[in-house]
Amino acid sequence: MKNASKQDLVLKLYENSSEPILFFDGENKLIDMNLAAKDILDPKVQNSLLSGLEGGMCLACRGYMNEHEEMTCQGCYMMNQQKDFSSFQVYLETRDRGVVPYIASFQMIDKESRTHVFMLRDLTKQLEVKDTLYKSNLMKKTINAQEMERKRISRELHDSIAQELISSLVELRVLKYMNISAEVKDKIYQTETSINRLLEEVRNLSVELRPALLDDLGLEAAFRTHFKWLEKNYGLLVHFTAEMGGTRFNNEVETIVYRICQEAVFNALKYAKVDEVTVRLFKTENHLELIVEDDGIGFDPNSYESQGTGIGLYGMRERAELIDAEISINSEVGVGTVVRLKIPLSEL
């Protein structure tokens, strides 16, 4: 009774499995296959396998992965039965989906009759997940590398170039007290003015690349300094409110929030034709949220790609995905734009 029950279960598994299963004899002639196998193989391939034609499997197989190549026919699993093919990756031309990757097993189940079973499991979803994870990790490493390089250049500008310019200014000011002609003093004054202007540009560039306050004091301090700089240089008034209670978050999260806000505000400055923007940064019980809102000319989010600091709408979404955040960009022509970033506190 128990044996019969097991046989029934095995038969049901074979008939109802979503994974293709094929049985071959010692001459690689197809003995039988389940419904899942029939669904993926072209009828011509099925007939070729049933007739036992040499190379019948080659009509569907596009190669398997070994230690040296991703897709190869060398040492074919159907022909090289002495090798261990209990688990390997194979690519088959299917009836409706083109070439599909499978994890396969080709094993002898009866030595006397040399019967083999060929079992397949679709790898498409697993490889898609792996590819998505790889791209996410690559994007994260790329952004981290960019930020580290920004930080290095910013500090170099601040600690080296800016200091050299300050030293030059001091030397010029000393010259003004020396016994020199009025013409020379006037030239020194002009040079001093030029160096002061250059020094201000170097400082602005240093902050734009990577504000030291972001690393030292966090988002709120970095935002306030950045918005004052925008008002001074561009006349854009940013109404900023922060409800953080001095909370700090990990470096990656603070960098991404800063860059997304920076992009959203610059987009409003360059394209929305507004003089004021509202920015709110706050923490709820479960989330850190950022809202950037303007009452400008608006745009169609489905057809518009912003430029700003270079990351654009697509880049903003990519950065948000790196920390499992939700980002919505709602805009309507003639009404304005609202960018909302929502980060689960579990990620912080």
Which pLDDT tens digit goes with each residue over 312-324? 788 888 889 889 9
Residues 74 and 146 in one domain: no
Task: Output the CA–CA distances (angstroms, integers) from residue 46 to 29, 37, 98, 198, in the order listed.
Answer: 11, 9, 16, 77
- Tell me how far apart the alpha carbons of residues 260 and 291 are, in angstroms, rounded to a whole number: 10
Find the CATH number of the domain harbouring 90.
Answer: 3.30.450.20
Average per-residue pLDDT in the chain? 87
pLDDT tens track for 63-95:
999 888 999 998 899 888 778 899 999 999 999
Q: Mean pLDDT highest for which of 34-48, 152-166, 298-312?
A: 34-48
% of the chain surpassing 90 pLDDT: 44
Domain with 50 in it = 2-122
CA atoms within 13 A on the CB side of 287: 13
Strands 237-243 and 276-283: parallel
Same domain for 306 and 199, yes or no, is no
Are residues 129 and 176 located together in one domain of the fold? yes
Residues 279 and 317 in one domain: yes
User: What's the pLDDT score for residue 336?
Assistant: 92
The encoded tokens of residue 249 equal: 């978050």
Both 60 and 91 in a single domain?
yes
Predicted confidence (pLDDT) at residue 208 exceeds the cutoff of 80: no
Are 263 and 197 members of one domain?
Answer: no
Domain count, the chain: 3
Same domain, 229 and 194: no
Q: Cα–Cα distance between 260 and 320 in angstroms, integer?
A: 8
Same domain for 165 and 104 = no
The tokens of 78 are what? 């159907």
Strand order across the beta sheet in which 336-344 lies: 237-243, 276-283, 287-294, 336-344, 326-332
Q: What is the pLDDT of residues 262-320, one digit of tens each?
A: 999 999 998 888 999 999 999 988 899 999 999 999 887 776 554 444 457 888 888 89
CATH value at residue 285: 3.30.565.10
* Domain co-membership, 116 together with 28: yes
